[in-house]
Amino acid sequence: MDNGFGILIPFFGVSIVLMVVFLVIGSKTRKKGENKKQEELQSKAILIYYSDNLFIDGVKVKMTEGKLDKQGERYIPVEPGKRVIKGRFSEYVQGMVSNKTYKTDLMEFELDLERGKTYRLSMQNDLVEDGVVFYTPLTFDNGKEKYIVCELVA
């Protein structure tokens, strides 16, 4: 009397072989993606950004153009040199009593980006001048001070 193991053993065997094949293919694809990022890093400047609307030299950066790194930060490879950056920045702050969203108008400034370097462009509470390439102070209606900062990451 056959209890079904005759069919299950080959099924699980084929499943395990297919799983190993797909794991190997996935590993190679990930390595290709990492190699591509390294090539971009060497030939371009990398801009990590936290902006709702970002324009580089007058061209809007679409959400689909930006890429995510391992830390979940959105970045875009940019040709090195002087670039005009325009963006709208926001920060959502959860408080104990109420929540507050800080938003800027569309801001424009010029950055000189170097090949092979990584920059982070964001709104920050405090200005730590170590690695800062550009900053501009902001004062909101409630008197809260923040900074738009471009810092050199690597």
Residue 51 pLDDT greater than 90, yes or no: no
What is the predicted pLDDT for the residue at 129? 77
Q: How many CA atoms lie within 13 A of 34 on its CB side?
A: 7
The pLDDT value recorded for residue 93 is 80
Where does the pLDDT of residue 3 fall: very low under 50, low under 70, confident under 90, or very high at 90 and above?
low
Given a cut of 80, is residue 121 above it in pLDDT?
yes
Of all residues in the chain, what percent carry a pLDDT higher than 70?
A: 83
Q: What is the pLDDT of residue 40?
A: 62
Q: How confident is the model at residue 145 (pLDDT cuts 50, 70, 90)?
A: confident
Read off the pLDDT of residues 82-116 as tens digits, 9 standing for 90 and up.
999 998 888 888 878 888 888 888 889 899 999 98
Q: What is the pTM of this model?
A: 0.68
> 42 vs 87, which has greater pLDDT?
87
Residue 4 CA to residue 33 CA, distance in Å, equals 43
CA distances from residue 117 to 25, 71, 87, 152 in whole angstroms, order as listed: 31, 17, 21, 7
Tens of pLDDT along 75-91?
888 999 999 999 888 88
Q: Band of the pLDDT at 16, cuts 50, 70, 90?
A: confident
**How many whole angstroms separate alpha carbon 1 and alpha carbon 96?**
69
